[in-house]
Structure 1
Amino acid sequence: MSELSRMRWKCRRGLLELDLLLRDFLDHGYAELDADGRRCFDRMLDCPDAVLLEWLMGRIRPIDTDVAQLVDKIRSATTGGT
């Protein structure tokens, strides 16, 4: 299975909102990440859906600065940063 296929599978979540945000980023922003960014994205996807949703909706900020920067990139790529 290719890396992109594995990430696409891992982006499938239990919440439609997360599915849409993560799939959109995978299609429009993931390729721009360097190797560290891709590892961070993979690690981030191990977090519970409720936490991911809070981060991506901007309700709370991740403590890990690498994850926080990645969340900012995802939000900018998928929602225009709002």
Structure 2
Amino acid sequence: MPAAVLSSADLGRLKWRCRRGLLENDLFVERFFRRHEAGLTEDQVRGLQGLMDLSDNDLLDLLLARKEPEGELDRDDVKEVLALMRQPG
């Protein structure tokens, strides 16, 4: 799948949107961006946005694999981003 063309302003807005209240979540998000920001696809951006709509505790449960995506989040784009975020550092 081709990489999305995100301007630096769009990328900055996305990163700002991904800031979390729990340090643990921020660590996962920062590592994700360090590894993948240069090649983010539109699907990955959409999946990431879906994850960011969660509360901090629900997001952490997914990141730590205590839960799996359900309902509206049970989508391929969300699962792909989640798998990338769960990769050990």
TM-score scaled by length of structure 1: 0.81
TM-aligned CA deviation for residue 58 of structure 1: 0.8
Pick from 34, 46, 57: which aligns with 2:64? Answer: 57
User: Is the 8 Å Cα contact of residues 15 and 49 (structure 1) preserved in structure 2?
Assistant: yes
Alignment RMSD: 1.7
Partner of 1:75: 86
What amino acid is the match of 1:29? H
User: Is the 8 Å Cα contact of residues 55 and 62 (structure 1) preserved in structure 2?
Assistant: yes
TM-aligned CA deviation for residue 47 of structure 1: 1.1
Distance 1:43 1:31 in 2: 20
Where structure 1 has 5 or more consecutive residues not aligned to the other structure, the ranges are none
Distance 2:43 2:85 in 1: 15
Q: How does 1:29-68 map to 2 (within 5 A)?
A: 29-63=36-70, 64-66=74-76, 67-68=78-79
Q: Which ranges of 4 or more aligned residues in structure 1 deviate by more than 4 Å? A: none
Tell me the matched-pair count.
Answer: 78
TM-score scaled by length of structure 2: 0.75
Where structure 2 has 5 or more consecutive residues not aligned to the other structure, the ranges are 1-7
